[in-house]
Copies of this chain bind each other. A is one copy, B any other.
Amino acid sequence: MEKIRQNTLHGEVAERIRDLIAQGTLAPGSRVPEKQLCEQFGVSRTPLREALKVLAYEGFVELLPNRGARVAKLTRATLKNTFEVMQSLEALAGELAGERITETELANIEALHYQMLSHYKRGNMQEYLLANQQIHEAIVVASQNDVLIDVYKNLNHRVRRVRFTAELSNDYWSQAISEHESMVEALRARDGAALGGILSRHLRNKVEMSALEEMAE
């Protein structure tokens, strides 16, 4: 059984533009050149402009009447607000995951956890952050709440461009590692309340945030 191709043209275009923004090719505050992107993607303006409408709603660009789209600036305030919300969503995800997580998902998270530990020991920050990120996403998915998953993914998308550029202190590293240990333990015990508590305890993101805030705007 082959899955039906769900992809739409404007969806593809939106994805490509998100990438351009995330990798910094389209700088914050700069205008989005419709014509040029059309040529680059080989599509007409119609699907591209449809994509821009969606991106505007997602918060990646802002539409100025008769002046087209600009890449949204990620201000410190916005970044802080986004993390506040994501943190709260993670806490909820933790609670729910504790009740609903499957064996497979748990095993997957444990595997990611050990990968993360090994990256930590080798001092490989990029890989560490990736595994870290994947663990958080996996917990959100394990909540089995589709609305939560959607909202979280969108917010995560928005801050993607600053996530992997942070320099973290050693203090933060060891702190985060120990919190992750507790998280996996809580998951094993199917203790949603504990997991939610850990995830909402502000520590992790607050420290991460202070590092990330320097990146923004």
Chain A residues at the B interface, C-beta cutoff of 8 Å: 4-8, 10, 46, 49-51, 53-54, 57-59, 63, 65, 77-78, 81-82, 84-85, 88-89, 91-92, 96, 145-148, 150-151, 155
Contact = CB atoms under 8 A, between A and B. Distances in A.
How many copies of this chain sit in the oligomeric assembly?
2
5 contacts: A81-B145, A81-B147, A84-B96, A84-B145, A88-B88
A6 B65 contact: yes
Given A5-B65, A89-B85, A147 B78 contact: yes
A147 to B, nearest CB: 4
Contacts of A78: 146-147
Contacts of A77: 146
Nearest to A90: B88
Contacts of A150: 59
Query: Which residue, A50, A78, A82, A89, has most C-beta atoms of chain B within 10 A?
Result: A50
Given A85-B92, A85-B148, 16 more contacts: A4-B65, A5-B65, A8-B63, A8-B65, A10-B53, A49-B50, A50-B50, A53-B53, A57-B58, A81-B146, A84-B92, A84-B145, A84-B147, A85-B147, A85-B151, A88-B91
A49 B49 CA distance: 11
Query: Which residue, A6, A77, A88, has most C-beta atoms of chain B within 10 A?
Result: A88
